[in-house]
Chain A
Amino acid sequence: MIEIRGVSKSYNSKIKAVDGIDLKVNPGEIVGFLGPNGAGKTTTIKMITGILDPDQGTILVNGHDIVRDPILAKQSFGFVPDDPNIFPRLKAIEYLRFMGDIYQVDPAVRSERVSKLAARLGLTEALGDRIQSFSHGMRQKLIIIGALIHQPAVWILDEPMTGLDPKAAFELKVMMREHADAGKTVFFSTHVLDVAEKICDRVAIIDHGHIRALGTLTELRSHFAADATLESIFLDLVEDQQS
């Protein structure tokens, strides 16, 4: 579970990138985090993962305060950043061993977990190679495997589909669903509204640092036309703010 309460963040003490947001991602659900460029998505995700400290408010990940109890909070989530360029000079297998050691995964179960994830995402043949030789999509797959090696209860994914081939993207969506169905939590940002519409239990739309809408697609439609798509709802909300 992720719980965000009254969180604000400003970069220059003038403009608030995130302004007093509240958001709860419950166990067993996938929540999509949508918003135009510069809306506050990445800042929010950075605060949830401990990269940035909020100016105000609290964030709980699996019940652990990310500011007061960072190690336990970090141990409970797996994070896939939007930039998969991590340690290019390590071999993929070395990176995964690093993640296994850091997250204190029992060495006896690593091999099986990595094999399964690599097979699902189509990265088995490249595990012995340097990350430097990987394409963007392959790096993304590796980061996903690394983030899930400790089987975290909470998945936080920033634009996870970017660069993935159709098969891997499909597989990831299936994995997200399986994870949520197992009573765990998935929170991800995306610009691909079709993906959000298909797999999210709820969506949160952020703009200018404020959550503009939060709910299931049915709940959102209740404020718009009955046959409105997520895309039309999103555009209406964002244009409203710009006009």
Chain B
Amino acid sequence: MKNAWLLALTIIRGSSFFSFGSDAQHEKSKWRKIGSTFLVVLLFGYLAGISGASAFALFSILSPLGLAALIPGLYISSGIMITFIFGLMYALSVFYYSSDVDRILPLPLKPETVIIAKLIVTVSYIYLFTASFILPPLLVYGVLNHTGWLYFPTLITTYLIMPVIPLAIAVFLIMIVMRFAPLTRNKDRFKAISGTILLILSLAFSYTVSNLGSLPKADLALLFAQRADQIATLTASAFPGAVLAVQIMTTSDPLDAFMRLLSLIGLSTLAIWLLLKFGKALYFKGVIGLSTAVSRRKALSKTALGQQLGGFTAVKDLHQATGKHNQLAAFWTYALKDWRVLYRTPIFMINNVAMNFLWPLFLGLPLLSAGSSDPDLQQLNQFINRLVIDGDIQAAPILLAVVFGLAIFVNGTNGIASSALSREGSQFYIMKILPMSYTRQIAAKLVVGILLGLSGLTLSFVMIYYFIPLPIWFMGLCLLTFPGALLLPNLAGIIFELYWPKLHWDNEQKAVKQNMNVVYVILGSMVVAGILIAAVAILKLNLLSTIAVIVVVPLLLTSGLLMVARRLIPRKMREIPG
């Protein structure tokens, strides 16, 4: 057991999970590190505040109806479901796809030691992940319901034990899949598919929760009781111990709670024992050889070799026609290389590429669903109806502002430009040895971000045009908002990257998911969108003034950033150590 703890601690210390920010934040500036930590704490606090406030709101609705006792049940059941869903993802990552696997396998450790250590690492991630939205509501409930002091230590104990069974089941399922499913041998494809499914699940989950919050109070109480019952039934049937966890938190008898807690501990211990028993047979057979990639090893024919080495075809033709030096080919081949790395790397594919197309869907679906109960969406629908049905031009300014807001938000969240240098990681030095100016290399990277963003916007545009018969002139105005919405977050992302690239990572995930530059750009995009939408709404701008604000202001800002970037790129690129 001591070895398992030691190994778990070593994995956690060496992992990227708990570290945010750029290399500079780790190595140079204490203040930046403090700032970055503060931002993470702020985000954590924000999430905790939202979930705590949701429990407060629910209590105020359910308490008068005598249904307050449903609250812990819902959050615990949801916590168990979340643990299971994200447990699948973390188990895959920690047990199979982590870079430490090849280093741990040769160590003289028993299989169960490695499994326990990996389980400790996975459960630590789960605790950190779920703490912000499971603990605050249950604490709020305890305070509001005057449950007595014993409730709080019971809550902490239950919270610590609760994830063990769903996680053990998730790990077991992953071990079975990885042992027997041939798909898993193509590591990248499997990662991309499973990651996209999990992303859709988590977005669907947050969409459901946000919809729940927008219901009228009476409906909410009824729906809440139904949902709480559905989730509790589902988790109770899928995860042994789920009922116990709920009962521990809802019983008023301390002895009863204690006995059920002991039973939950017993069941959890049994789950670990069973996992170790089966894991010994499954884990190592599934993980050995996983780091090797399959290949065909078939020589290319002379023709195929010639064709595939032929250079960037369209530009090559241009080159042959004009006889000019082939700099365009270099530029486009660089962009093509960046695109290939993006879509072939599962983490980049999910976070940078797929997001361009998923966001429009998730933002658009509630808008398009006629029966949406969100008051903001209802108001937006009213504006759309005024424009479409009544032909009321007065509705156009606010709609144009919202289109711009959504467009800049989607482009800000794709993180392509705001991780453009970080994604290079230890290979950043290659940018320095190529005979191509830094400005051109970065411009090629920007083009990839802009084209992908444009693809996402085009999809949204087509989708909106198909479902909502907006006037053509309005759709034309929407197109005018795209240049600013595309260029502004991309340029801002590059500038952040020039100052704080995150090049030292052992896992591609760290380059995008734990990169503060991506967060800065998302927040910045939201702020710019918020200010401009507010300006249009509060000042009640007419269409012409709105166009000036929504189209011209972002383009002016873009021009400013472009000038800054052009000046910064050569200097900062030289300064960043390769």
Q: Which of A70, A107, A115 has the most CB of B within 10 A?
A: A107
Report the contact-size class of chain A (Cβ under 8 Å from the partner): 35 or more
Whether B434 contacts A74 by the Cβ 8 Å rule is: yes
Whether B293 contacts A133 by the Cβ 8 Å rule is: yes
Measured between beta carbons, the chain A residues less than 8 angstroms from B429 are: 46, 51, 81
Q: Is residue A27 contacting chain B, with contact meaning CB distance below 8 A?
A: no
Whether A49 contacts B432 by the Cβ 8 Å rule is: yes
With A90-B337, A101-B330 known as contacts, the answer to whether A50 contacts B432 (CB < 8 A) is yes
Q: Binary interface profile of B, 314-349, with partner A (CB < 8 Å = 1, else 0)?
A: 001000000001110110111011001100110000
Distance from B223 Cβ to chain A, minimum over Cβ atoms (Å): 46
Distance from B424 Cβ to chain A, minimum over Cβ atoms (Å): 10
Measured between beta carbons, the chain A residues less than 8 angstroms from B292 are: 133
With A110-B310, A127-B300, A133-B295 known as contacts, the answer to whether A94 contacts B427 (CB < 8 A) is no
Whether A101 contacts B426 by the Cβ 8 Å rule is: no
Q: Is residue B297 contacting chain A, with contact meaning CB distance below 8 A?
A: yes
Total interface residues in chain B, CB < 8 Å: 47
Q: Binary interface profile of B, 293-309, with partner A (CB < 8 Å = 1, else 0)?
A: 11111111010111011
Q: Is residue A85 contacting chain B, with contact meaning CB distance below 8 A?
A: yes
Q: Is residue B472 contacting chain A, with contact meaning CB distance below 8 A?
A: no
Bound complex: CA A46 to CA B296 (Å): 36
Whether B311 contacts A46 by the Cβ 8 Å rule is: no
Q: Is residue B435 contacting chain A, with contact meaning CB distance below 8 A?
A: yes
With A104-B326, A128-B300 known as contacts, the answer to whether A89 contacts B345 (CB < 8 A) is yes
Distance from B186 Cβ to chain A, minimum over Cβ atoms (Å): 11
Bound complex: CA A49 to CA B429 (Å): 10
Measured between beta carbons, the chain B residues less than 8 angstroms from A79 are: 433
Residue of B nearest to A97 (CB): B309
Measured between beta carbons, the chain A residues less than 8 angstroms from B345 are: 89
**8 Å CB contact of A93 from B308, B311, B312:** B308
Bound complex: CA A94 to CA B299 (Å): 14
Distance from B518 Cβ to chain A, minimum over Cβ atoms (Å): 21
With A71-B436, A75-B435 known as contacts, the answer to whether A101 contacts B333 (CB < 8 A) is yes
- From 72 to 112 in chain A, residues with beta carbon under 8 angstroms from any chain B beta carbon are 72, 74-75, 79, 81, 83, 85-87, 89-90, 93-94, 96-98, 100-104, 107, 110-111
Give chain A's interface secondary structure class. Answer: helix
Bound complex: CA A74 to CA B438 (Å): 13
Bound complex: CA A209 to CA B146 (Å): 71
Q: Is residue A126 contacting chain B, with contact meaning CB distance below 8 A?
A: yes
Bound complex: CA A128 to CA B304 (Å): 10
Measured between beta carbons, the chain B residues less than 8 angstroms from A110 are: 306, 309-311
Q: Is residue A221 contacting chain B, with contact meaning CB distance below 8 A?
A: no
Whether A51 contacts B188 by the Cβ 8 Å rule is: no
Whether A107 contacts B300 by the Cβ 8 Å rule is: no
Measured between beta carbons, the chain A residues less than 8 angstroms from B432 are: 49-51
With A74-B433, A102-B333 known as contacts, the answer to whether A130 contacts B309 (CB < 8 A) is no
Whether A129 contacts B427 by the Cβ 8 Å rule is: no
Bound complex: CA A40 to CA B293 (Å): 36
Whether A97 contacts B294 by the Cβ 8 Å rule is: no
With A51-B433, A83-B426, A90-B340 known as contacts, the answer to whether A111 contacts B305 (CB < 8 A) is yes
Distance from B183 Cβ to chain A, minimum over Cβ atoms (Å): 17
Q: Is residue A195 contacting chain B, with contact meaning CB distance below 8 A?
A: no
Whether B300 contacts A93 by the Cβ 8 Å rule is: yes
Q: Binary interface profile of B, 140-154, with partner A (CB < 8 Å = 1, else 0)?
A: 000000000000000
**8 Å CB contact of B334 from A81, A102, A125:** A102
Measured between beta carbons, the chain A residues less than 8 angstroms from B311 are: 97, 100-101, 107, 110
Q: Is residue A53 contacting chain B, with contact meaning CB distance below 8 A?
A: yes
Measured between beta carbons, the chain A residues less than 8 angstroms from B298 are: 125, 128
Q: Is residue B574 contacting chain A, with contact meaning CB distance below 8 A?
A: yes
Distance from A75 Cβ to chain B, minimum over Cβ atoms (Å): 4
Residue of A nearest to B575 (CB): A53
Q: Is residue A218 contacting chain B, with contact meaning CB distance below 8 A?
A: no
Whether B433 contacts A114 by the Cβ 8 Å rule is: no
Distance from A116 Cβ to chain B, minimum over Cβ atoms (Å): 12
Bound complex: CA A110 to CA B310 (Å): 8
Q: Is residue A52 contacting chain B, with contact meaning CB distance below 8 A?
A: yes
Whether B296 contacts A74 by the Cβ 8 Å rule is: no
Bound complex: CA A112 to CA B465 (Å): 52
Q: Is residue A26 contacting chain B, with contact meaning CB distance below 8 A?
A: no
Bound complex: CA A127 to CA B301 (Å): 11
Bound complex: CA A179 to CA B311 (Å): 26
Bound complex: CA A114 to CA B304 (Å): 13
Q: Is residue A232 contacting chain B, with contact meaning CB distance below 8 A?
A: no
Q: Is residue A124 contacting chain B, with contact meaning CB distance below 8 A?
A: yes
Bound complex: CA A171 to CA B12 (Å): 45
Distance from B79 Cβ to chain A, minimum over Cβ atoms (Å): 37
Whether B305 contacts A52 by the Cβ 8 Å rule is: no
Residue of B nearest to A128 (CB): B300
Measured between beta carbons, the chain B residues less than 8 angstroms from A134 are: 295
Bound complex: CA A86 to CA B305 (Å): 21
Measured between beta carbons, the chain A residues less than 8 angstroms from B293 are: 130, 132-133
Can you list 21 A-B contacts with CB-CB less than 8 angstroms, sorted by A residue number?
A46-B578, A49-B433, A51-B429, A52-B578, A71-B436, A74-B435, A75-B435, A89-B188, A89-B345, A93-B308, A98-B336, A100-B309, A100-B311, A104-B327, A125-B299, A126-B295, A126-B297, A129-B297, A130-B293, A133-B292, A134-B295
Known interface pairs A51-B433, A89-B341, A133-B294; 16 further A-B residue pairs with C-beta atoms within 8 A, sorted by A's residue number: A50-B433, A51-B429, A52-B577, A52-B578, A74-B435, A87-B427, A89-B188, A93-B300, A97-B310, A97-B311, A100-B311, A101-B329, A101-B333, A103-B435, A104-B326, A130-B295
- Closest 4 A/B residue pairs (Cβ): A133-B295, A101-B333, A51-B578, A74-B435
